[in-house]
Structure 1
């Protein structure tokens, strides 16, 4: 009996560790990877290969001295698209900085780092399609070349959007 309980607890723990980004709101272990920063213009960027919901991805970027990526030109968007290396990534554009107004009542999207909203939304051809969605990501699909999709901030996009939950793509001023 004791062996069965230990085996069951071990399986549940393994399942939570493997699926923490999909079904459960639990703290995931951080990767021991070395995070590599790449420079573009006056900023440095890093693909953090840890899967999060959008707000947790923003917190992780803050821990690293930056924010989720904000994009201010087509050239920067192309750089970010190439840096993500066929992975889905959260970007820092959301409706969360409009207190009390989310989903259908939201006024506008803004960047989580507070930089100006100076670039039109580069919507994926199927977007926007979630009226209650407050966050944006770049999906990993063959037909996505850096366009943006909307989705709920506290959920991972379904498989038809992207086969894997998004990673964090962080940006900070160049040191």
Structure 2
């Protein structure tokens, strides 16, 4: 009995363990399958989402490329239009530059013509003034000669010709005014003209001596000048220099511009700058005569003094 019990195999217990192990394996297989199925589903879902995103990105990229292409085409079109405008502007600028050159050339030609016209006008005016001045000088000189001749005739008939304006001194058929006050030569000349006279002209030693008695040793302007041509001195009455009383070494045109003559306090003459100021000057005019009524009707008029320098 005991020997039988010791050698006895128990099959039922073994079946139970195998069944349990199979169940576990089947559960593991099902779990694995479920996991792989879930993983596969996740992979498919990810793939689908990726494809969807890629498609969206592709569509967006296509749209962006389309927009960029359109913008690029628009830019290229604008650039071509800009080049065309630049070319047109360049042409217009070149034309304007050519027009400007032509205008400048025309202006230069017009300016030259205008300058020539101005020069011609100045020459005409100068010629007219010179002719007028020459005619006026000739008329004045003729009138003065007539007046002097008339005075000689009256004196020869016993008429006294020694009447001078107030404050003027008589000497040899002329009246003299000894002016005082600081003046330039041209100012002294105008002052004498305003007094119906002119700066004195000295033609003899007697006249020089008379002037020396009244200038009170003052430097005085006289009517001698070489303004028109250097070295050719002429008196205010238009007569050339006959008598002279130059200081030794004079005239010397010292400083290149001594064109007017003054009489020193010593009586000697000296050329000086016309703009220098002297405190005295001497004017002259012809004396008038005491005429009877019949003679007065034919008395020549005194020449009108020149007002221009």
TM-score after normalising by structure 1: 0.64
Alpha-carbon separation, structure 1, partners of 2:178 and 2:280: 7
Q: Distance in 2 between matches of 1:64 and 1:167?
A: 15
Measure, in 1, the Cα distance between the counterparts of 2:249 and 2:237.
27
CA distance in 1, matches of 2:217, 2:187: 21
Q: 2:262 aligns with which of 121, 137, 141?
A: 137
Alignment of 1:14-53 (within 5 A): 36-53=167-184
Q: Is the 8 A contact 2:233 2:240 kept in 1?
A: no
Higher percent of residues as helix: 2
Structure 1 unaligned residues grouped into runs of 5+: 1-33, 157-164
Aligned length: 122
Pair 35,133 (structure 1): closer, same or farther in 2 beyond 3 Å:
farther
Matches within 5 A, 1:116-135: 116-119=240-243, 121-129=244-252, 130=254, 131-135=256-260
Match of 2:234 among 102, 105, 110: 110
Q: CA RMSD in A?
A: 1.9
- 1:152 paired residue among 261, 270, 273: 273
Equivalent in the alignment of 1:11: none
Q: Distance in 1 between matches of 2:249 and 2:240?
A: 26
> Unaligned regions of 5+ residues in structure 2, if any?
1-164, 289-309
Find the partner of 1:166 among 279, 286, 307.
279
Q: Which has the larger radius of gyration?
A: 2
Q: Deviations over 1:27-81 (max 9, x none)?
A: xxxxxxx961110101000111122101110110010011111000011011111
Return the structure number with greater strand share: 1
Shift of 1:152: 0.8
Q: Which structure carries more relative contact order (alpha carbon 8 Å, separation 6+)?
A: 1
Alignment check: 8 A CA contact 1:53 1:154 kept: yes
**CA distance in 1: counterparts of 2:182 and 2:204, whole angstroms:** 26
